[in-house]
Amino acid sequence: MIFENKKLLRRLNEMIDAAIAGTFSAETYDESLISKIESKMMRFLEISRLKQDQTENERSRVRSLIGDISHQTKTPLSNVTLYAGLLSEQDLTDTQAKLARQISVSAEALSFLIQSLVKASRLESGAIKIEPKPGDVYALVETAAGLCAANAAAKNISVEYEQNTAHITALFDSRWCAEALFNIIENAVKYTPERGKVSVAVTEYEMFARVDICDTGRGIREQDLPKVFERFWRAESSGDSPGAGIGLYLAREIITSCGGYIKVSSKEGKGSVFSVFLSKV
Amino acid sequence: MSILKTANLKKHYFTGTTVKAVDGVDFSVASGEFVSIVGSSGSGKSTLLHMLGGLDRPTEGTVEINGKNIFAMKDDELTIFRRRSIGFVFQNYNLVPVLNVEENILLPIHLDGNKPDMAFVERVIETLGLSEKRKSMPSQLSGGQQQRAAIARAVASKPAIVLADEPTGNLDSKSGMDVMGLLKVSGEKFAQTIVLITHNPEIAQMANRTVRIEDGRIVR
Amino acid sequence: MKGVNTENKKLIRTLTARKLKSNRARNIVAVIAIALTCTLFTTLFAIGASIFKSVQEATMRQVGTAAHGGLKYLTQAQYSHIKESPLIKDISYSIIIGVAENEALRKNQTEIRYGEDKSARWGFSYPETGDMPRAGLEAACSTITLDLLGVKHELGQKVPLEFTLYGQKHRVEFTLAGFWEGDGVMAAQQVWLSEEYLNSVVKMPEKVDFTNGMDDIAGTISADVWFSDSFNIDGKINNVLAERGYAPGEISTGVNWAYMTSGGELDPMMTLTALLVIVMILASGYLIIYSVFSISVTGDIKFYGLLKTIGATGKQLRRIVRAQALLLSAAGLPIGFALGFALGYVLTPVIAEITEFKGASSVSVNPLIFVFSGLFSLITVFISCRKPGRIAAKVSPVEAVASFDAKPAGRREKRTHKVTALNMAYANITRKKGRLALVAASLALSVILLGSVYSVVRGFDMELYLENQMSTDFLLSHYSVLSVFVQGDDYQGVDEDVRAEIKKLNGLTGYADIYLHEEPAHKLSQIGHKNLNAILDSGMGDYIAQQWGSRPGVAQDLEKAKTEGIVPLHVYGAGDLAVSEVSPDVNFDILKSGNYVIATHFFYENASDAEVKSVYNAGDKLTLTNPEGEEREFEVIAVAGGYPYSMGPQHSHLLMGSDIIMADNIFQTFYSNTNPMTTVFNVADEDISAAESRLKNYTENINPDLDYRSRAYYMKEFESLKRTYMMTGGAMSFILAMVGVLNFINAVFTSINSRRTELAMLQSVGMTGRQLKTMLFGEGALYALITVISSATLGVPLSYLIIRAISGQLWFFKWNFSFMPTFVALPVLLLICAAIPLLCYRFTQKASLAERLRAQ
């Protein structure tokens, strides 16, 4: 009995090794327990391999679907925008002009949403290749903050960020990470009241470069903290403020893809701090 | 990756003159594939199917399943291999007359000394419309019901390969389609490879691939 | 743990149970077959155990106690010490006071003792009427003692006893307190006295020595001992003594040899017969059980094939077959036990009568009977279903799916015959040739055996038998001489009284006394020694060594005969009538005129191919010695084939040496025998029955120690022997016939059952019920015909062998062969063979035609 057990365990160990190496195959067919386990193990490995294949297939199907959507909606949408613009240039009554403008705004919102979704899907399915390369974090912050300047100015919000002649080098995909940071800063600006302040600070660590985006908005409730990066999640209190709830989700996907991570801390009523960690190696 | 592969498979009967039931078949089935075999009656397709499942020994040639030549196994090994890896559906049902429907369905699982996955078995029984008949003896069932029970038996143990010989031959077209649906779904869900003999073109179309056999050989 | 788990077992059980249910007809036949086998085994073992038990009991009675062993000549102190041994299961004792010296009791050793109740009970001497003596001058004794003393069987009667103690003669009248039915077989009768009386006359010895004979023995204790079981009693007694601290030999011990016959002491002939019967039962059981299972497995081959396609391994299939057999055995065995025991109950007295084990009238209920018969039956069942199990295990899985896809039947072309019912019948029964052979063989075997037995019995020749058994009308001896079982013969039992009585018989035409003197160590003359060695060297010596070598002392005796020429002799002194029986050519007047003797051939003369058949031959001189040591020379005047068996002591014959016969008058001058061993006499035919009834009365009532044999007795014995052979042979034939018929029923039933659809199909295409029946009748008749033909052809040499084997041992057999039984069997067989298929057909006919057609 003890001998049998030992034999059984030894064979199990071999089987698992073979399974990891991908060379497993059942060897005996008799009434013994070990033979039964072999057969089942083989079956299990086969099922999981086939499942993996199936997932791969589905992924490529999704990829092409997304491509199709983005491609196929482009023309009609730009047409809508174009004709809405043309319409508003006509002699319109006030009411009509207002309606025309609404069309433009919605079309643009839709375009933005589709673009965001396409981005998100591409990121998810791996259609977008994110290629982290060494770059200057300050330059990255500057690019992102620059993109927000217009919106911030409209709300009379100052976006402050450090300028430094020194470089902090980290690994990131400059185009996509700029967009990620932009999304975060944009989000901060969105939830900060007029004449508020958004500050961006960079700290260097041994392994990481940290970018803190600090706002003076209303903050996030503690129980909502884990949800802020979820797709289409919007705080209940965000009410009618514009947005699709996809920016932070995208930001996190991008940062994660670059090998970094993101976290948030917040106090309700006192504003939030989003910290982006970019890997240096 | 092919799960099932034959090489120069032959089955000859000698009765004064030689009858070549299967005469040099080389083909392979990929894992998870759904292959249908078509051919006129007497073309050797049933004999081929029996050899694929190790029921009959070939005159010449090999059948490899998962890279293993099944005819190199001893009789009992082959039997055990079969009950673990292959589900059969026969033209003439072949239910065990002394066992009721449910016992028949659970037979291969019990023979291997396993506890059946009752939830799955339950679903199979339901899908095949056998819930009412589960305690009936085969002799109390209609042909169609017997065939459905036979199919349930073949898939209940979630074998890697299901070999079916005209499984819908005795069913009306609606239940025929239901049965095929079940086979396909179970095939996808449990990564089963299905090889099926049929003469119904509609059913043959449901397969990933169709192989035609004439006079014991594959014709393309 | 071999991977056989519970799910698996449960499934096999379900399959087995269901399969059984679906095979009702097969089950009935199988249960009958198993029950039959078990019945036979149980009967055999019940009879065997009963005989064994009764032989054991008889021995115990001779020994005088049922206890395992005994210790003798103990002092009180020794007894109380030994009594406490933990190795002893039970112990009781008696104390000897003396031996009765009444004149009336002179011939029967009668011991006077005080005994505990238990000791009396174990010694078969416990009062059935009244009680053991409790006080004063009370006594208890057997009816034999009472009869000899002439005391009425009545409590309170006076019993006079005489005995000597410490040199003083005691004559005391005791009061009868109890008595029991006496048993003449016992070596000594007991008279029980009270403890009070014992203490008043006997001085209990402190120490036992035997210098003063009886006086020292008086007052010593004889202890009877029981142990936990009867194995190695001798060793157990020694263990007790060792454990109690006695030196070996310090205390006299005895083993009850009734318990020593448990193993090797059994009669080899009987053991052989029993083995033969076991083998025969096994074979006949196998024949039927095997065929039942083999047919049912073949019929169910699709079922097993199907299970195999689904994944049942050969081992699992074999287990299903075996489990079915086991379940059927569970039903069959109890029936067999009951029937077999009942049969044993009925047959034991019959067998006992035939085999002369007269005591075996009660049946043993030893549970071992059932254990053994169950075991043997199961062995038979397992052997029988081994091959069917293998067939099931080896089934090819395609068998079940039997596709019609390009798989032509393996039959060659056949000429077209006209389709008649008989042609079809022939084609049908030859479809399964193996089955046909099996059934025909088992039927034929019974016919052959019956024929053989009939031939054997017809060959029995009464004249030949009597010639050897008994040549005079009457013969009278002490019962011990005539009994095969009683040792210690009384060679001088025919006293004056009875001889006078015989001489008074009406119509007495001839009379002779026969005396016997055994000379255990006769020194052969030189010629005699030479002849002996010639005989021994020519095969006789090997024969004796092989046949009897295992008996104690035989090897030494043989050696002694070879090297020293010392052999035992039986010296008979016989009157004219007896001598003329031994050797009719010898003139008795010459024989009685001087020191002449007749010598005889070596006992197993046929085992020797030497030219000399006898140690002493005509003209040789030999020297005999009488008990006083006096020697006398005799001359051989003739050599006879042998001394007649019936006129000698029944249980002893000489392996070596010679019977020497001399005239009675010469015998009397040389030996001092007072009475002859035997008398033989003839009576005129018309007076035979009167003489017989007088002898009967005399030997039963006047002197029960004597017994007689008459020609009529041997004629009766001959008839009973004939009956025995007829009965045993007939029973065996009957069993075989049953096996055959069961096989036949099974074969026919399964064949018709499996052809149900086929038969229905035949009917549907226009075969009438009548034609169908003709066909089935034809099938049965063909079976019968094949059986008869094969038993009349192949059966003849087989029958010849059987007859040779049986009759080889019978000297009174005249060769004879008869076809009669075979011809008598034919109509019976025909009837059975025709009736069974039709009955089976009727059975299947209950369902409607449409139902039967659909049934497949």
Q: Does the distance separating the beta carbons of A1 and C3 come in below 8 Å?
A: no
**Candidates A31, A35, A40, partner chain C, best to mutate (most C CBs within 10 A):** A31
Residues A38 and A116 in one domain: yes
Question: Whole-angstrom distance between the N-terminal and C-terminal Cα of chain A?
Answer: 54
Contact partners for chain C, using 3 or more CB pairs closer than 8 A, are: A, B
Q: Does the distance separating the beta carbons of B114 and C405 come in below 8 Å?
A: no
Is the pLDDT score of C4 beyond 60? no
Residue C107 confidence (pLDDT) = 64
Is the pLDDT score of C190 beyond 70? yes
Kindly tell me the burial class for residue B198, based on how many C-beta atoms sit within 10 Å of its own C-beta (0-12, 13-18, 19 or more): buried
C592 assigned to some structural domain: yes
Residue C265 confidence (pLDDT) = 47
Q: Are strands B34-38 and B193-197 parallel, antiparallel or unpaired?
A: parallel
- Chain C residues close to B76, C-beta within 8 Å: 313-315
Residue A20 confidence (pLDDT) = 84
Residue C404 confidence (pLDDT) = 38
Is the pLDDT score of B62 beyond 50? yes
Residues C615 and C580 in one domain: yes
Residues C193 and C280 in one domain: no
Give the distance from residue C293's alpha carbon to the nearest chain A alpha carbon, in angstroms.
27
Q: Which residue of A has its CA nearest to B161?
A: A43
- Indicate the SS3 state at residue C820: helix
Residue ranges in A155-264 assigned as alpha helix (H): 174-191, 247-257
| Alpha carbon B52 to chain centroid, angstroms | 9
Tens-digit pLDDT profile for residues C645-695: 778 776 556 667 678 899 988 888 888 777 888 898 888 888 888 888 888
Residues C79 and C128 in one domain: yes
Which range is least confidently modeled, A98-112, C491-505, C779-793, C832-846? C832-846
C1 — contact with chain A (CB < 8 Å)?
A: yes
Which range is least confidently modeled, A127-136, C267-276, C368-377, C461-470? C267-276
Q: What is the CATH number of the domain that holds A200?
A: 3.30.565.10
Residues A90 and A187 in one domain: no
Is the pLDDT score of C851 beyond 70? no
- Chain A residues close to B85, C-beta within 8 Å: 39, 43
Residue C379 confidence (pLDDT) = 92
Q: What is the CATH number of the domain that holds A86?
A: 1.10.287
Out of B80, B85, B158, name the one closest to residue A30 (CB): B80
Residues A80 and A198 in one domain: no
Residues 310-329 in C contacting B (C-alpha not used; CB under 8 Å): 310-316
Tokens at C414, concatenated: 């056949």
Q: How far apart are CA A115 and CA A119, in angstroms?
A: 6
Q: Which residue of A has its CA nearest to B69?
A: A27
Tens-digit pLDDT profile for residues A174-216: 888 888 888 888 888 888 888 888 888 888 888 888 888 888 8
Kindly tell me the burial class for residue C645, based on how many C-beta atoms sit within 10 Å of its own C-beta (0-12, 13-18, 19 or more): exposed
Residue C202 confidence (pLDDT) = 83
On average, the pLDDT of chain A sits at: 82
Burial B175-184 (b: 16+ CB within 10 A, else e): bbebbbebbe
CA-nearest of B106, B124, B125 to B115 is B106
Residues 34-53 in A contacting C (C-alpha not used; CB under 8 Å): 35-36
Give the distance from residue B207's alpha carbon to the nearest chain A alpha carbon, in angstroms.
17
C263 assigned to some structural domain: no
Give the distance from residue C385's alpha carbon to the nearest chain A alpha carbon, in angstroms.
24
**Candidates B3, B69, B71, B80, partner chain A, best to mutate (most A CBs within 10 A):** B80
Residue C11 confidence (pLDDT) = 79
Residue with tokens 């890697």: B160
- Chain B residues close to A23, C-beta within 8 Å: none
Residue C570 confidence (pLDDT) = 87
Q: How far is CA C409 from CA B14, C67, C110, C404, in A?
A: 11, 75, 90, 10
8 A C-beta contact, residue B218 and residue B27: yes
Which range is least confidently modeled, A179-193, B23-37, C104-118, C267-281? C267-281
Residue C230 confidence (pLDDT) = 78
For chain A, the domain total comes to 2
Q: How far is CA C21 from CA B133, C14, C26, C327, C653, in A?
A: 21, 11, 10, 11, 63
Tell me which of C73 and C731 has the higher pLDDT.
C73
Residues C597 and C553 in one domain: yes
Residues C794 and C732 in one domain: yes
C825 assigned to some structural domain: yes
Q: How far is CA B168 from CA B205, C193, C368, C687, in A?
A: 14, 102, 62, 101
Residues C223 and C315 in one domain: no
8 A C-beta contact, residue C658 and residue C620: no
Reported as type and span, the H/E element at residue C786 is helix C769-793
C752 assigned to some structural domain: yes
**Candidates C15, C403, C411, C413, partner chain B, best to mutate (most B CBs within 10 A):** C403
Contact partners for chain B, using 3 or more CB pairs closer than 8 A, are: A, C
Residue C291 confidence (pLDDT) = 81
Is the pLDDT score of C805 beyond 90? no
Q: Does the distance separating the beta carbons of A29 and B191 come in below 8 Å?
A: no
Q: What is the CATH number of the domain that holds B88?
A: 3.40.50.300
Residues C394 and C504 in one domain: no
| Alpha carbon A264 to chain centroid, angstroms | 15
**HSE value, Cβ hemisphere, 13 Å, CA-based, for A27:** 8
pLDDT band at residue A247 using 50, 70 and 90 as cut-offs: confident
Residue C329 confidence (pLDDT) = 92
Residues 486-525 in C contacting B (C-alpha not used; CB under 8 Å): none
C175 assigned to some structural domain: yes
Residues A147 and A40 in one domain: no
8 A C-beta contact, residue A140 and residue A174: yes
> Best-predicted range by mean pLDDT among C278-292, C344-358, C475-489?
C278-292
Q: What mean pLDDT do residues C234-250 have?
A: 83
8 A C-beta contact, residue A8 and residue A33: yes
Residue C411 confidence (pLDDT) = 44
Q: Are strands C138-142 and C168-180 parallel, antiparallel or unpaired?
A: parallel
Strand partners, A134: A171
Residue with tokens 């003076």: A216
Greatest C-alpha distance within chain B? 53
Residues A145 and A71 in one domain: no
**Candidates C24, C396, C401, C404, partner chain B, best to mutate (most B CBs within 10 A):** C401
Residue C447 confidence (pLDDT) = 81
Q: Does the distance separating the beta carbons of B32 and A43 come in below 8 Å?
A: no
Q: Does the distance separating the beta carbons of A35 and B80 come in below 8 Å?
A: yes
What is the span of the domain harbouring residue A75? 1-128
Count the neighbouring beta carbons within 10 Å of the beta carbon of residue A22: 8
Q: Are strands B2-15 and B17-30 parallel, antiparallel or unpaired?
A: antiparallel
With an 8 Å Cβ cutoff, the interface of chain B facing chain C consists of 13, 15-16, 19, 21, 41-42, 44-47, 50, 54-56, 75-76, 79-80, 82-84, 88, 90-92, 94, 96-99, 103, 107-115, 153, 165
Give the distance from residue C396's alpha carbon to the nearest chain A alpha carbon, in angstroms.
18
On average, the pLDDT of chain C sits at: 79
Tell me which of B4 and C256 has the higher pLDDT.
B4
Residues A103 and A232 in one domain: no
Q: What percent of chain C has pLDDT over 70?
A: 85
Out of B32, B77, B114, name the one closest to residue A30 (CB): B77
Q: What is the pTM of this model?
A: 0.61
**Candidates B12, B50, B105, B110, partner chain C, best to mutate (most C CBs within 10 A):** B110
Q: Does the distance separating the beta carbons of C3 and A30 come in below 8 Å?
A: yes
Q: What percent of chain B has pLDDT over 70?
A: 99
Residue C264 confidence (pLDDT) = 40
> Best-predicted range by mean pLDDT among A73-77, B210-214, C411-415, C578-582?
B210-214
Residue C1 confidence (pLDDT) = 40
Tell me which of C819 and A56 has the higher pLDDT.
A56
8 A C-beta contact, residue C203 and residue C219: yes
Residues A92 and A120 in one domain: yes
Q: How far is CA C377 from CA C26, C41, C334, C746, in A?
A: 19, 7, 11, 20
Out of C3, C313, C315, name the one closest to residue A33 (CB): C3
Residue A193 confidence (pLDDT) = 84
Q: How far apart are CA A11 and CA A2, in angstroms?
A: 14
- Chain C residues close to B75, C-beta within 8 Å: 314, 394
- Chain A residues close to B111, C-beta within 8 Å: none
pLDDT band at residue C549 using 50, 70 and 90 as cut-offs: low
Q: Does the distance separating the beta carbons of B84 and A39 come in below 8 Å?
A: yes
Residues C77 and C19 in one domain: no
Residue C335 confidence (pLDDT) = 93
Q: What mean pLDDT do residues A70-97 have?
A: 85
Tell me which of B179 and B47 has the higher pLDDT.
B47
Cα dihedral C450, C453, C459, C463 sign: negative
For chain C, the domain total comes to 4
Residues A199 and A161 in one domain: yes
Residue type, C660: I
For chain B, the domain total comes to 1
Q: What mean pLDDT do residues C220-230 have?
A: 87
Cβ neighbours of residue C576 under 8 Å, at least 6 residues apart? C510, C512, C588
Strand partners, A102: none
Residue C192 confidence (pLDDT) = 93
Q: What mean pLDDT do residues C239-259 have?
A: 81
C689 assigned to some structural domain: yes
Residues 8-27 in A contacting B (C-alpha not used; CB under 8 Å): 25-26
Q: Does the distance separating the beta carbons of B103 and C407 come in below 8 Å?
A: no
Q: Does the distance separating the beta carbons of C313 and B79 come in below 8 Å?
A: yes
Last residue of a domain, one of A110, A128, A146: A128
Tell me which of C839 and C350 has the higher pLDDT.
C839
pLDDT band at residue C377 using 50, 70 and 90 as cut-offs: very high
Strand partners, C596: C635
Count the neighbouring beta carbons within 10 Å of the beta carbon of residue A25: 14
What is the span of the domain harbouring residue C543? 491-704
Residues C845 and C722 in one domain: yes
Which range is least confidently modeled, C247-251, C574-578, C579-583? C247-251
Residue C214 confidence (pLDDT) = 60
Residues C696 and C788 in one domain: no
Tokens at A39, concatenated: 């057969």
What is the span of the domain harbouring residue B157? 2-219
Length of chain A equals 281
Cβ neighbours of residue C63 under 8 Å, at least 6 residues apart? C187, C256, C257, C258
Residue B195 confidence (pLDDT) = 93
Kindly tell me the burial class for residue C51, based on how many C-beta atoms sit within 10 Å of its own C-beta (0-12, 13-18, 19 or more): buried
